[in-house]
Amino acid sequence: MATGKRYSDASKRFDREHFHGPAEAIDLVKGLAGAKFDESVDVSLLLGVDPRKAEQIVRGTVALPAGTGKTVRVAVFATGDAAAAATEAGADLVGGEELVAEVEGGMIDFDLAISTPELMPQVGKLGRVLGPRGLMPNPKTGTVTNDTAKAVNDFKGGTVEYRTDKAGNVHVSVGKASFDVAGLKQNFATLMEEINRAKPASSKGRYIKKVTISSTMGPGIKIDPTRLDEVAV
């Protein structure tokens, strides 16, 4: 956690114990982002689920309408027409067995991996390399597909993955501090809609228990979970 002078000064400019409405919180995040680089704006959620139960793992993708502001390096495990389509769509790394071998040897120069179903038996062997980094392709997130061009375009254009960790937390970047307020609000609202849509049927009680938003170097700002619908898409 950042504890420098800029962070401390920012923390004194608002009530850290107050629960804000989402629109107010987003305004605060932009105002408190003072680093010399374009900070990411990150949302952290605590969900009322038990990730130890497979049916309560919340996982999927969401297309952020205002984009992420990030350059995403995409690797595609594919051959033939699917490989050609991925290359044409702008994938940064494309290959079959040779790419599998490179990754197995320690080459992880990408932020997201996509695979055709045909290549998954080989890609599956990379579990120890890709798994801990959250890079293993999965049908539930649209990263195992024959339509490699669409997947590359989606993930380079603003689609992001989300998944609960072992404690039931979800962390998603919804843009950059340089985004206008409208874009951040739109992305935030879209994320909340998707998280609610993905609620497991077996989840009981309050589903979204805590919400915090912050910039990369800024303090966390608490959002009232009962006021999430105040930001409309």
Tens-place pLDDT, residues 158-191: 999 999 999 999 999 999 999 999 999 999 999 9
Domains and CATH numbers, the chain: 5-68+159-230 (3.30.190.20), 74-157 (3.40.50.790)
Over residues 83-96, the pLDDT tens digits come to 999 999 999 999 99
For position 123, what pLDDT does the model report? 97
- pLDDT higher than 80, residue 102: yes
Residue 5's pLDDT is: 61
pLDDT at position 1:
44
Which pLDDT score, from 0 to 100, does residue 229 have?
85
Mean of the pLDDT values across residues 101-107? 96
Q: pLDDT tens digit string along 8-51?
A: 665 666 777 889 999 999 999 999 988 899 999 999 999 999 99
Is residue 38 a contact partner of residue 215, using CB atoms and an 8 Å limit?
no
Q: Of the candidates 222, 185, 233, 218, which has an alpha carbon nearest to the alpha carbon of residue 46?
A: 222
pLDDT for residue 4: 61
DSSP letter string, 52-100? TSGGG--EEEEE-TT--S-PPPEEEE--HHHHHHHHHHT-SEEESHHHH
Percent of the chain with pLDDT over 70: 94
Establish how many alpha carbons lie within 13 A of residue 191's alpha carbon, considering only the half-sphere containing its beta carbon: 32
- pLDDT at 232 exceeding the cut of 90: no
Residue 133 has pLDDT above 80, yes or no: yes
Task: Kindly state the percentage of the chain with pLDDT values over 90.
Answer: 85
Q: What is the pLDDT of residue 202?
A: 92
Model confidence at 230: pLDDT above 50: yes
- List all residues 6 or more positions away from 23 whose beta carbon is below 8 Å from its beta carbon: 185, 230, 231
Read off the amino acid at residue 221: I
pTM value? Answer: 0.83
Averaged pLDDT for residues 184-207: 95
Least confident of 17-21, 102-106, 148-152, 184-188: 17-21
